Amino acid sequence: MADSTQAATHVHDPNSGSVAQSDFHCVSAGEGVAFSTTGDWEKEATGKPPSYAEPLFRPDVVKTIEEEIYNLSDELRELSLKIHDHPEIGYEEKYAHDTLTAFMRDHDFDVTPHYLGLETAWRAAFEVGKGGRTVGFQSEMDALPGIGHACGHNLIAIIGVGCAIAVARAIKKHDVAAKVVLLGTPAEEGGQGKVKLIDAGGYKEMDACLMAHPSAGPPRSAGTGSSLAVQVLTAQYFGHTAHAAGAPWEGKNALDAAFLAYSAISVLRQQIKPTHRTHGIIEGRDWAANVIPGYSKCRWYIRAPTRAEVQVLHGRVKKCFEAAALATDCRMEWSEQGGTYDVRQNECLADEFTRVAERYGIQASRQIQAAVGGSTDFGNVTYELPSLHPSFAIPTEPGGGNHTTLFTKAAATKEAHAAALQTAKALAITGARIVIDDSFMAEVKKAYDEGRTTGTVG
């Protein structure tokens, strides 16, 4: 995509505090926008809509969305804490499944539990009229083993819920023919729940799909950069046990095989790109210091900024495992978990989210080419249809980034809830424009098609 095109934009006048509006066009936002960092997060998120700016699009629709999210705040806070206080790992999110589906039923959505054969997946839909477009939102639910909601999926869950309900009520109130679909997607943390839903056709009805993810970062900041593609590899080594002192020559040491593979990959790291990542663990069973281990298991993640780069790195890493099996005379069994792709942010959706987020004091940075260190199965969704996956900052203690116990604590704070609701407003308004504005959706689709052709962001 070019750096900018001519068609429609919204210009913020810092002197008047107003937003001038012209016809829509897709604009690349390379620079961040200025914003104030003063004030109280919770008060600003739950107070009445700000008076310092004109609505960016369809004032009546924007006002409805703002009011609905404001009115939902207490319910969403309670819902978030319920999920946070009952952490469940991937494909075991039974409490979250039942709690969230009951909530969506209570808010007049047509709910399908255990969606598409996945026990903890679910779908909630709301439709007005016939023949309109469908906007999709996502609610993740799973926690991490031992450290709970250390990636803030309780906040992701309520953002999806808040966006879906607010947009549904807006299209009903303003008589817009459209459908809102919220998917409860299990097992994001390595289980590839969204990939299974893609394979089962769970996204075919959507014209576009949106979600948001919390992270550590500067106050009131958000980003629409990419993420790393990832491939999960598992190697099992089968050797032969023996007395480690009496007859070690009779053994075939499966732990040695795992150790050699680990060492070979560690050496390989010197020759891979700084943006690539390899990390893994070694497991065993029935190990004792006086017995030559006859079995070991290695589980590794390999990551790179793009799916294509992961495929190249994959071949180099696999040779390390094969060499270890050869050196120790162990038999190796190899398996691969389907790849998780990089996130292809839709450029037009990212631009619109950035503009709307400014209204709520959020500084959103594009930086499409700068991949973050994590990976998400939502990347596979972005290859299927126009999609957006912004990250947003919540207050954390030093050293309290994602996948730490400090982040688990931060994800339950009032400040994190406030940041989530501000982000939900911007995401919901962006989603509403997808189903209302024909010219905007045409640009979104064009950006997606061009991204597929060039293999870049969509």
Q: What is the CATH number of the domain that holds 182?
A: 3.40.630.10
pLDDT at 455: 57
Is 285 in the same domain as 404? no
Residues 254 and 208 occupy one common structural domain: no
- Model confidence pLDDT, tens digit, residues 29-85: 222 222 233 334 444 444 444 444 444 689 999 999 999 999 999 999 999 999 999
Which two structure tokens, joined as six digits, stand for 374?
A: 């994590």
Q: Write out residues in the chain with pLDDT < 70, as ranges.
A: 1-56, 366-373, 453-458
Same domain? For 374 and 432 the reply is yes
Same domain? 73 vs 211: yes
What is the reported pLDDT for 426? 97
> Quick one: pLDDT at residue 216?
93
Of 321, 340, 359, which closes a domain? 340
| The last residue of a domain, from among 279, 310, 340 | 340
Which residue range forms the structural domain that includes residue 317? 229-340
Nearest to 182 by CA among 197, 207, 165: 165
Can you give the pLDDT at residue 41?
44
On whether both 215 and 233 belong to a single domain, the answer is no
What integer pLDDT is reported at residue 373 of this predicted model? Answer: 63
318 and 346, same structural domain?
no
Same domain, 98 and 216: yes
**1 domain residue, yes or no:** no
Q: 54 with 189, same domain?
A: yes
pLDDT recorded at residue 14: 28
Q: Is residue 4 part of a domain?
A: no
Q: Domain containing 329 — which CATH number? A: 3.30.70.360
Q: What is the pLDDT of residue 17?
A: 31
pLDDT of residue 286: 92
Tens-place pLDDT, residues 425-453: 999 999 999 999 999 999 999 999 987 75
Q: Is residue 58 in a domain? A: yes
Domain match, 416 and 405 both? yes
In a domain, residue 264? The reply is yes
Domains in the chain, number: 2
Residue 23 lies in a domain: no
Q: What is the pLDDT of residues 220-263, one digit of tens each?
A: 999 998 889 999 999 999 999 999 999 999 999 999 999 999 99
Examine the domain organization and report whether 267 and 387 are in the same domain: no
What does pTM read for this prediction?
0.82
Same domain, 396 and 382: yes
Residues 421, 290 share a domain = no
**What pLDDT sits at residue 365?**
82
